[in-house]
Structures are given as C-alpha cells and as structure tokens.
Amino acid sequence: MIPHNQPFELYEAAIYEPAEMLDRSKAFYRALDKRRTVREFSDRPVPKAVIENIVRTASTAPSGAHKQPWTFCVVSDAKIKASIREAAEKEEYENYHGRMSEDWLDDLKPFGTDHIKPFLEVAPYLIVVFKKAYDLGPDGEKQKNYYVNESVGLAGGMLLAAIHHAGLVAVTHTPSPMNFLQKVLNRPANERPFLLVPVGYPAKDAKVPSLTRKPLEEISVWYE
C-alpha cells in the first residue's frame, strides 16, 4: 500500500546465508557483550570526527513518525564541563544524602559510586542527549512528537553501541533532576535533558565492577 505523492525507494537488502548470519550474529553479540560502563577516564583527546560519526549513528535510530525528537549537545569546552560537574555534584550530593531510598543506595553499593564525578571534567567529550517533547514549526507553533521516550531511549542505545564500536568508553549518567543541563547549555523550552554521556578513552588500569548478565532463559520467553 503506497500512498500517492509519497516517494518510496528500493530497500537495499543485505542478505546472508544462514551460516554467515550465525557467525555475524555471534560476533556482534560478543562485541557488544564487552561494552561496560567505565567511570574512570583518560584525558587523551578524541578526534572530533569520531564523535561526529557516533552522533550520526545514534540518529539512525527509529523514532515515532520519524520525528527524530532529539538533540545531542556535544561539550568539549573546559569551562562548560566544569559548570556541568559543579551542578551535577550538587544534585548527586542531595541524591546520596537523603533523596535516594535505602534500597536504592543498597543497590548502588556494588558500583562504589558517590556524588563526586571527576569524569565530567576528565572525559574529553560530554554528549548531553536532549529529548524534544515537541518541535517548533516555522511560525513558532508546537508540532507533536510521538513516543518521545522510546525513540530517544533507542537513540541512546545506538549512541552507546557506536561509542563502544569506536573503541571508546562511556558512562550513562543521570544526575537527576537534570534541569540544570537545560540552563547551562541554554536549550529551548521544548528540550528536556535525557542522558549525560561522558565519552573518551578509559584511564590506564581503569576498573569496572564485576557483573554477570542474565542468561537467555531468564530474559526471554519463546512461543513456538
């Protein structure tokens, strides 16, 4: 069913024989299974062109009615990074000293995290993902976006996969409430902060908490 006036193009299919498909799916799983949240960064510079490609990759994510309701703010300016760190640590201090429940603090213990966030200044880039609650038309009128959280969540996942694929590391950081990011980065009223993602090389000898991932049996139900 092709509506008139709607341009369509042939889909460029990449089709593999089952054996190759199996190899590819296994290799991709193994590669992504190596992704870890790393919280200790090196200040070694990262080429800007790499970050540009990572952001382009994130924006290939599907989105409700293809509205692409996201803005990626890419911060390398030291002063802005310092402002973000200061504001984030203020919020995180409140979170760790009263705002988070005892259960939540217990769940965080294995990660050894606290309100101090040096990575916000050490990482060469901070990618701040904003969701666009609505868009603004040429005359400033509000235009609806659909499934904004789902869409921006998917773009965030693709962002993290692209960072990992490039051989860099990231933290998915959510120093909530994150309204300060809207102010520090001077974003318009239709944009709300969604994720704060420091990106760079890992520090030498960076450590990550040991964890296991749930096996297939635990995360899937098959109706055959």
Is residue 186 helix, strand or coil?
A: coil
Q: Which of these segments, 25-33, 34-42, 50-58, 185-193, binds ligand FMN (CB under 6 A)?
A: 34-42
Instruction: Choose, by CB under 6 A, the member of 123, 171, 181, 184 that binds ligand FMN.
Output: 171
Alpha-carbon distance of 224 to 220, in angstroms, equals 12
Closest residue to ligand FMN in the complex (CB): 37
Residue closest to 73 by CA, chosen among 202, 12, 159: 159
Is residue 211 helix, strand or coil?
A: coil
Q: Does 131 bind ligand FMN (CB under 6 A)?
A: no
Give me 65's structure tokens.
């009615």
Q: Which is nearer to ligand FMN, 39 or 132 (CB)?
A: 39
DSSP structural state of residue 99: I
Q: Does 174 bind ligand FMN (CB under 6 A)?
A: yes
How many residues in the shown chain lie near ligand FMN by CB under 6 A? 11
Q: Which of these segments, 4-12, 70-78, 128-136, 168-176, binds ligand FMN (CB under 6 A)?
A: 168-176
Q: Which of these segments, 17-25, 32-40, 140-148, 183-191, binds ligand FMN (CB under 6 A)?
A: 32-40
Angle at 45 between CA 43 and CA 46, to 5 degrees: 125
DSSP structural state of residue 167: T
E strand or H helix at 197, and its extent?
A: strand 191-200
Binding site for ligand FMN (CB under 6 A): 36-37, 39, 111, 113, 171-174, 208, 211
